[in-house]
């Protein structure tokens, strides 16, 4: 049987069941592209003249991101998959504006805020500094302006990398950031300290992370790049539930891991397709897909619900860490097979206020700060979106940061802290951030105030040994 020259055009290719399975992920299980994040290098924008610097930054962002909204809309229509957020990540601003005073940093933050609104992105990340080994004058000024930036701009997100496995932990910066959190929270008191939700404190921060608030365009990246953050907790949960419903015998954890892997494959593929298409239409590079399972406060879009589907009905109970480790690893395995362009944070987020099931577990008293800290040892991204009592002192916040950063530094992984000391509210009260940031019951900090002397020593916790790894 020889192939006629016209056969290929009409050949039927797709099984109805495959089409309905993929469509079902979008229709019923909230599969979407959580963010298309455009990274833009600003290192060439520097000028001793503040007005020139701001004008250059604005021109460069308009040049690359001017069509981002339109192109994302076109791609959404073409593939019938929602692109929930468009964002921009810029080079760490500490370096871009290093010649300027604190007022210069503030002006640049206002410029970023205005351009973000102009090009239709909801957040712009990169008001950032890397200070793991020490801080420049510029980085120190940037950190000093954070409370004002976080409280007076709408879209600007900040991050500070305070530790790496190679450099250790800059405890001076950690303590300074404890004070920044207090100040930023107080300035946004009317909104339960929401300013702190736009600041991430990192260990081993990735330079290509598309998720906010910690996105920035790091060294080694091209002029402009498109990075993708997919979503998919709902899809993974549905897959696990389906497996349970249709299995004739109780599935083993190995079988559950396989199911999660194959689901992660599909989710990652959607992200890569959308990323490549957006990049191609804009004529810029495609960077990475971040595999992270990013929850939203909606029921059915929760990492916690996946753990429940696996049998950890009370999140925070013993077994929660093991279940999360299984989930995180299976997602990475499926995603890595799906795409060679995987990067960013790529794990399961346990962002408490943003995840309905986790927030509920906190409310029930099942999920504690100590258990959350343990869980972050096996997943990304750390103590994320956690409301703590407003009266918590800066030293205790710094010590909380130091603990989480130490987990990342010692384990060669990214960890991060995004905690909100809610002014005027105590443990058990409700903190409400709204929208994707969600709400939660304020968690108590056990033995708060008991480690102030430790963090006041300052200096640097040395880089860890890389051998004798037990």
Partner 1 sequence: MKNYIVTVTAADQVGIVQTVAGTIRARGGNILELSQTVMRGYFTIILEVSFPEPLSTKALAGALTADGERFDLTVVVIEADERARQVPVPNGERFILTVLGDDAPGNIHGIAGCLAARGVNIVDLHARVDGTRFALVMEAFLPSDLSPADVRAELEKFGREHGLEAYVQHENIFTATSEPSPVRVGPPLRIQGDAIVPH
| Tokens 């790496």 belong to residue | 164
What would the 3-class secondary structure string for the chain be?
CCCCCCHHHHCCCCCHHHHHHHHHHHHCCCCCEEEEEEEECCHHHCCCCHHHHHHHHHHHHHHHHCCHHHHHHHHHHHHCCCEEEEEEEECCHHHHCCCCCHHHHHHHHHHHHHHHHHHCCCEEEEEEEECCCCCCHHHHHHHHHHHHHHHHCCCEEEEEEEEECCCEEEHHHHHHHHHHHHHHHHHCHHHCCHHHHHEEEEECCCCCCCCCCCCCCCCCCCCEEEEEEECCHHHHHHHHHHHHHHCCCCCCHHHHHHHHHHHHHHHHHHHHHHHHHHHHHHCCEEEEEECCECCCCCCCCCHHHHHHHCCCCCECECCHHHHHHHHHHHHHHHHHHHCCCEECCCCECCECCCCHHHHHHHHHCCCCHHHHHHHCCCCCCEEEEEEEECCCCHHHHHHHHHHHHHHHHHCCCCEEEEEEEECCCCCCCEEECCHHHCEEECCCCCCCCCCHHHHHCCCEECCCCCCCCC
Is 100 near partner 1 (CB under 8 A)?
no
Interaction between residue 22 and partner 1 (CB under 8 A)? yes
Closest to partner 1 by CB, 9 or 446: 9
Among 48, 51, 77, 248, binds partner 1 (CB under 8 A): 77
Nearer to partner 1, 230 or 345 (CB): 230
Q: Is 70 in the site for partner 1 (CB under 8 A)?
A: no
Among 55, 67, 69, 79, binds partner 1 (CB under 8 A): 79
9 in contact with partner 1 (CB under 8 A): yes
- Asked whether position 78 contacts partner 1 by CB under 8 A, the answer is yes
Cα dihedral 239→243→246→248 (10° resolution)? 180
Q: Does 337 bind partner 1 (CB under 8 A)?
A: yes
**Which one, 78 or 456, has the nearer CB to partner 1?**
78
**Near partner 1 in 180-239, by CB under 8 A:** none
Binder among 269, 371, 412, 430 for partner 1 (CB under 8 A): 269
The reply to whether 57 sits near partner 1 by the rule CB under 8 A is: no
Does the footprint of partner 1 cover residue 342 (CB under 8 A)?
no
Q: Which of 40, 54, 65, 81 binds partner 1 (CB under 8 A)?
A: 81
Of positions 179, 266, 360, 413, contacts partner 1 by CB under 8 A: 266
Choices 58-66, 274-282, 406-414, 431-439; region in contact with partner 1 by CB under 8 A = 274-282
Part in contact with partner 1 (CB under 8 A); list of ranges 4-12, 195-203, 314-322, 386-394: 4-12
Binds partner 1 (CB under 8 A): choice among 41, 172, 272, 301: 272
Could you say which of 270, 387, 417, 455 contacts partner 1 (CB under 8 A)?
270
Give the nearest distance from C-beta 268 to partner 1 in angstroms: 9
Q: How many positions of this chain bind partner 1 (CB under 8 A)?
A: 38
Residue 18 near partner 1 by CB under 8 A: yes
What is the Cα–Cα distance from 350 to 361, expressed in whole angstroms? 12
Residue 339 contacts partner 1 per CB under 8 A:
yes
Stretch that binds partner 1, among 76-84, 190-198, 199-207, 453-461 (CB under 8 A): 76-84
Burial of 190 (0-12, 13-18, 19+ CB in 10 A): exposed
Stretch that binds partner 1, among 162-170, 272-280, 306-314, 354-362 (CB under 8 A): 272-280
Q: Does residue 12 bind partner 1 (CB under 8 A)?
A: yes
Q: Which is nearer to partner 1, 11 or 470 (CB)?
A: 11
Q: Per CB under 8 A, which region of 38-46, 77-85, 180-188, 218-226 contacts partner 1?
A: 77-85
Region binding partner 1 by CB under 8 A among candidate stretches 12-20, 86-94, 173-181, 362-370? 12-20
CB 22 within 8 A of CB 34: no
Q: Give residues in contact with partner 1 (CB under 8 A).
A: 1-16, 18-20, 22-23, 27, 77-81, 265-266, 269-270, 272-273, 276-277, 280, 337, 339
């Amino acid at each position: 049987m020889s192939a006629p020259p016209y056969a290929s055009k009409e050949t039927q290719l797709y099984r109805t069941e495959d089409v309905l399975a993929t469509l079902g992920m979008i229709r019923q299980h909230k599969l979407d592209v959580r963010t298309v994040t455009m990274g833009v290098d600003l290192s060439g924008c520097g000028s001793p003249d503040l007005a020139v610097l701001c004008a250059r930054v604005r021109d460069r962002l308009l040049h690359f991101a001017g069509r981002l909204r339109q192109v994302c809309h076109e791609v959404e229509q073409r593939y019938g998959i929602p692109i929930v957020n468009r964002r921009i990540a810029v080079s760490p601003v500490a370096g871009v504006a290093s010649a300027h005073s604190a007022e210069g940093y503030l002006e640049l933050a206002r410029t970023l805020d205005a351009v973000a609104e102009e090009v239709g992105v909801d957040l712009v990340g990169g008001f950032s500094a890397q200070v793991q080994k020490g801080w420049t004058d510029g980085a120190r000024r940037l950190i000093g302006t954070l409370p004002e930036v976080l409280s007076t701009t709408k879209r600007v997100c900040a991050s500070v990398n305070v530790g790496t496995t190679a450099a250790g932990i800059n405890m001076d910066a950690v303590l300074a950031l404890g004070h920044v959190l207090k100040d930023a929270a107080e300035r946004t008191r009317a909104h339960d300290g929401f300013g702190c939700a736009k600041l991430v404190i990192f260990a081993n921060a990735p330079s290509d992370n598309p998720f906010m608030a910690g996105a920035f365009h790091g060294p080694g990246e091209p002029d402009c790049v498109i990075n993708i953050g997919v979503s998919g907790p709902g899809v993974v949960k549905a897959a696990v539930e389906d497996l349970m419903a249709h299995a004739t015998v109780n599935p083993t954890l190995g079988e559950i891991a396989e199911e999660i892997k194959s689901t992660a494959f599909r989710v990652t593929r959607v992200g890569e397709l959308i990323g490549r298409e957006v990049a191609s239409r804009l004529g810029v590079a495609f960077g990475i897909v971040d595999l992270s399972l990013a929850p939203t406060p909606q029921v059915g879009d929760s990492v916690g619900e996946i753990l429940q589907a696996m049998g950890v009905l009370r999140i925070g109970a013993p077994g929660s860490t093991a279940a999360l480790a299984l989930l995180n690893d299976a997602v990475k395995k499926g995603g890595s097979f799906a795409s060679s362009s995987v990067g960013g944070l790529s794990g399961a987020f346990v962002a408490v206020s943003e995840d309905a099931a986790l927030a509920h577990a906190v409310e029930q008293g099942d999920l504690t700060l100590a258990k959350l800290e343990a869980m972050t040892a096996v997943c990304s991204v750390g103590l994320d979106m956690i409301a703590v009592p407003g009266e918590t002192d800066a030293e205790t916040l710094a010590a909380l940061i130091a603990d989480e950063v130490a987990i990342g530094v010692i384990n060669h992984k990214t960890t991060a802290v995004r905690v909100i000391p809610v002014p005027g509210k105590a443990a058990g009260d409700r903190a409400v951030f709204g929208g994707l940031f969600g709400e939660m019951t304020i968690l108590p900090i056990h033995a708060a105030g008991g480690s102030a002397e430790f963090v006041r020593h300052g200096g640097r916790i040395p880089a860890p040994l890389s051998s004798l790894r037990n």
